[in-house]
Amino acid sequence: MTRVTRAMLPMTIAVFLAATGCSSTRAPRPAPYAPPSSYTPSSPELEQRDIPLTTQDLLILDRAEAILSDSTKWNHHDDRVCTPADTTWSLFCALQRASVEVLGVYDHRRAALQEVRFAIEAAAPGKQFEHRLRDYNNLPTTRFEDIKRVLHAARQRVAYRLGVTKE
C-alpha cells in the first residue's frame, strides 16, 4: 500500500459510510424523559410546606422506593440526565421515572418531589445545595440507606397529610 493510498483510506471509508447512510457504529443514547431546560426553578410558593397533595404523590413515592429496591439499583453519581434505558438510578432519576410512570409526564416541582427535598433539608441541616436531589445523592457521605430514609420520610409525611396509612 502506497503512502497516498494509506492517506486516502480514511476519506474513502467516510465517503462510503455517508453514502450508505451510516454515520456511526455507536448506538444513539436514548432521549431523556425531560430535558434539564424544562425543570422549573423554585419559588417561595413552591417552598411552602403545605402545598396541595393527591394520592398520585403517594404513588410516585412508592414507585421511586420500588425502583430503588436495593443498593445495586442506586447510582451514586447523578448528572440529572435520566433515560428510559437506565438500569441504575440516582434519587433524582428514580423520582423522575416514577413521576413519568404514574403521571405520564415529569413534573419537576410536584408535591412528592418537594417533600423529598424537604426531607433532605431535615437529613442534612445547614448544608447548602444547588440541586438538593442531585447534590444529596452525590455527597460522598450519602449511603443507600440515607436515600431510602429520605424517601421514607417524605412518604410518611405525604401519607400523614392525606390521612392514609400504609397497608
Domain, as residue range, for 84: 30-162
As for how many domains the chain has, the answer is: 1
Phi, psi (rounded to 5 degrees) for 77: -125, 75
Kindly state whether residue 14 falls inside one of the protein's structural domains: no
Residue 22 lies in a domain: no
Tell me if 12 is assigned to some domain. no
Is the predicted pLDDT of residue 18 greater than 90, yes or no?
no
Pick 125 or 31 by higher pLDDT: 125
Residue 73 has pLDDT above 70, yes or no: yes
Of 109 and 89, more confident: 89
Provide the pLDDT for residue 51.
Answer: 85
To the nearest whole percent, how much of the chain has pLDDT over 90? 64
In a domain, 121, yes or no: yes
Question: What is the DSSP code string of the chain?
Answer: --HHHHHHHHHHHHHHHHHTT---SSPPPPPPSS-GGGPPPP-TTTT-TT----HHHHHHHHHHHHHT-SGGGB-SS--S---TT-SSB-HHHHHHHHHHHHHSS--TT-HHHHHHHHHHHHHSTT---SSHHHHHHH-TT--HHHHHHHHHHHHHHHHHHHT----
Domain annotation covers residue 24: no
63, part of any domain:
yes
- What integer pLDDT is reported at residue 16 of this predicted model? 47
31-45, 74-88, 99-113: range with lowest mean pLDDT: 31-45
